[in-house]
Amino acid sequence: MSIEKSSYILFSNLVARTRIKWNNTTIKRQKSIKYLGVYIDEKMNWSTHIHHQTKKAAQYLQNLQKIAGKTWGNNLKHRRILYKTVIERMLAHGATVWCQNPTMKLAKKLAKMQRGFLLAISGAYRTSPTAALQVALGIAPLHLQFQMESQYVSITRLRKPLTPNILNISPTQIEDKVTGWTTHPSRFPQTHQITIEDGSPITSDYNIFTDGSKTNTGVGAAFCAYEGTRRIKEWSTKLQSHNTV
């Protein structure tokens, strides 16, 4: 472990400064650390993370204004798509952690962050109310959007129950999507493999052959059964055009 590169953050209400030493070397104390793209501060109020997200948002807003103005550039539909798919997703990073129960102060910071994008998308006057722009563009306030996503992830993925005033449902009552059973061929048990060499003699008394075909003229399927070398049964049918074989 490199002591020079090490640092720590203290989550405590202690007023006195706490020092940590390792081999007579004082480890640096940080007021915030970055973990998986989320800034965690010592007060756990996420102010540092919001500050960095605001700086990122300003850069994205400048890029948006370079490709779209009030009377030129991409139309409103494309601007809104860029906001929802790029900008909002960037701002929502880690919202499951820092936006579960947003405070009024946090909501105001997010609204201020969002307002510039609403003006750039709509081309409205700068005196237009933020709430009116949100309704006109069909874009939810950031704190409500992030809170909804945070609660959805908490109950569906993390399996953590929500407070009764939000949703009175247990995570065990939510059904999981069945994904099926898959195994990579390289890990398939050798004992369950069946290999049939092409051209080997047919030794079974009864053999059934099936076939299907789909062309521009239609779809069909058929089978025939043999007893030894004698054909004892055959059947064919025409399928619907939407069927596959």
Q: Are 162 and 154 in contact (CB under 8 A)?
A: yes
- The token pair at 130 is 């933020």
Residues, the chain: 245
What is the number of domains present in the chain? 3
Give the integer Cα–Cα distance in Å for 9 and 40.
9
Tens digits of per-residue pLDDT, 91-136?
Answer: 999 998 898 888 999 999 999 999 999 999 988 888 999 999 999 9
Q: To which residue do tokens 């874009």 refer?
A: 139
164 plus 115 within the same structural domain: yes
Look at residue 69 in the predicted model and tell me its pLDDT.
80
Q: Find residue 227's DSSP bridge partners.
A: 206, 230
Q: What number of H helices and E strands is found in the chain?
A: 7, 9
Residue at which a domain ends, from 126, 158, 173: 173
Q: Which residue has the higher pLDDT, 103 or 20?
A: 103
25 plus 49 within the same structural domain: no
The whole-model pTM stands at 0.62
Q: How confident is the model at residue 73 (pLDDT cuts 50, 70, 90)?
A: confident
Q: How confident is the model at residue 203 (pLDDT cuts 50, 70, 90)?
A: low
Q: How far is CA 152 from the centre of its chain?
A: 12
Q: Tell whether 194 is covered by a domain.
A: no
Q: How confident is the model at residue 172 (pLDDT cuts 50, 70, 90)?
A: confident
Containing domain of residue 23, as a range?
3-35
Strand order in the sheet with 230-239: 206-215, 218-227, 230-239
